[in-house]
Chain A
Amino acid sequence: MSFLSGLFGGSGSSQPVEKEVSASSELFNSTTFRSNAIPSDPSSSSSSSSSSSALPQPPTSQAPAPVTPAPTALDTFGTAFDPARLHPLAGLGENLDFLALDEDKLNEIEGSASVLPSRGWTDDLCVGTGTTYLSGLVVGGMWGAKEGLSRPLGNNPSMKLRINSILNGCTRRGSFTGNSLGVLAIFYNIANSSLDSIRGRHDTYNVLGAAALSGAIFKSTAGVRPALVGASIMTAAAGAWSAFKNTV
């Protein structure tokens, strides 16, 4: 509403005419064509100097108004937001508020930056599980395709029979590998995010601990010994992956 009243000269006529002059001089001072169009009468110059604190200028430089560069989009959005640096005609003060800017905040745990930006543990869970499941599906599908290609089908098998054998192998091995790896990835990502939020940071110890935990849970129904074996295998794999990431 203040923006509208500033634009239309105050239809309620509560605003003095003096405000109009100073606003127009601020307009001239803040835009790029100020060099040949500076209003030169002393009254308006004094009013513009008195109101130069509202002028758009970087917070570090104390230069007078004509030297101040006009704010670019980078100045406005690249630093912390200051409503006083917007256009003076807009009349924006301290009472400017936003609609829920932090609704999709990125993950802020230290050291947890990944390839894709993450918006928290659900994002990690989804992307990690999806990647692992998909790669398991691809690897298992290749395994099944090889199995179907080399399966003996009697002498002189037809093409249709061979394709059927390959598809059967793909759907059998692919879904088995993908499902197992996907469940393992769910365990791993939940453990990893829990450890992250408990310890408040993300490092190699978290990765190793989460890998051991997920391997143990995955093989926990087979007994203590397979659970320990699974935990050590997962820890070794996670350690190798971390070492690979650190060297690259």
Chain B
Amino acid sequence: MSHGDHSRDPCPYVILNDFGGAFAMGAIGGGIWHGIKGARNSPRGERFVGSMSAIKARAPVLGGNFGVWGGLFSTYDCAVKGYRQKEDPWNAMIAGFLTGGSLALRAGPRSAFGSAVGCGILLGVFEGVGVLMNRMFAQPIPQMQLPEQAPAAPAVA
């Protein structure tokens, strides 16, 4: 493996990337989802119009929800990484805990804590599955072949 993950930007900039990625995922996926749903819920002959109005009304909102979640998670992830100076599954769990808590903050501290614990557990399950998959599909490290006998002569005379 190379040193570190070069397929992503360094930490403060990756927040923008995650924000936009999550927003685009929510908006495009919401467009497909609400397009089909709006077409199914419309009477015959109005299907295209119904689908379009459902997309216009709901897809940006879904994109916004996804984007806020992803961006907040990425921000907390970077902050936790910067504070702990480590990269391990605990980062994502702590960031998920903080994200869930922040998003439910207006509903009161009790509800916020419940949502935070739920999000933290969800992210913990994700990370656990990731670790398990990694361990299952990792190539076994081959045993190093040592020479049979001691070196015949030192390399430098």
Contacts and interface: CB of A to CB of B under 8 A. Distances in A.
Note whether A and B form a binding pair. yes
Interface of A: 4, 7-11, 20-21, 23-24, 27-28, 89, 103-104, 116-117, 119, 123, 125-134, 167, 175, 178-180, 182-183, 185-186, 221
A182 B155 contact: no
B6 A104 contact: yes
A125 B155 CA distance: 56
B58 to A, nearest CB: 11
Chain B contact surface mostly: helix
B13 A133 contact: no
A7 B155 contact: yes
Interface string B54-91: 00100111011001000100000000000000000000
A125 B20 contact: yes
Interface stretch (B36-44, B92-100, B122-130, B143-151): B143-151
B117 interface: no
Interface residues of B, number: 35
Given A127-B16, A130-B67, A183-B60, 13 more contacts: A4-B147, A21-B157, A24-B155, A24-B156, A24-B157, A117-B9, A127-B20, A175-B61, A180-B60, A182-B20, A182-B60, A183-B59, A185-B20
A62 B63 CA distance: 63
7 contacts: A7-B155, A129-B20, A130-B67, A133-B20, A179-B61, A182-B20, A182-B67
Among B13, B23, B28, B71, the most chain A Cβ lie within 10 Å of the Cβ of: B23
B155 A130 contact: no
Contact of B153 (A9, A89, A133): A9
Nearest to A183: B60
Contacts of B148: 11
Contacts of B121: none
B147 A11 contact: yes
B63 to A, nearest CB: 6
Contacts of A24: 155-157
B125 to A, nearest CB: 25
Nearest to B25: A126
A125 B147 contact: no
Contact of A131 (B16, B145, B153): B16
Contacts of A23: 155
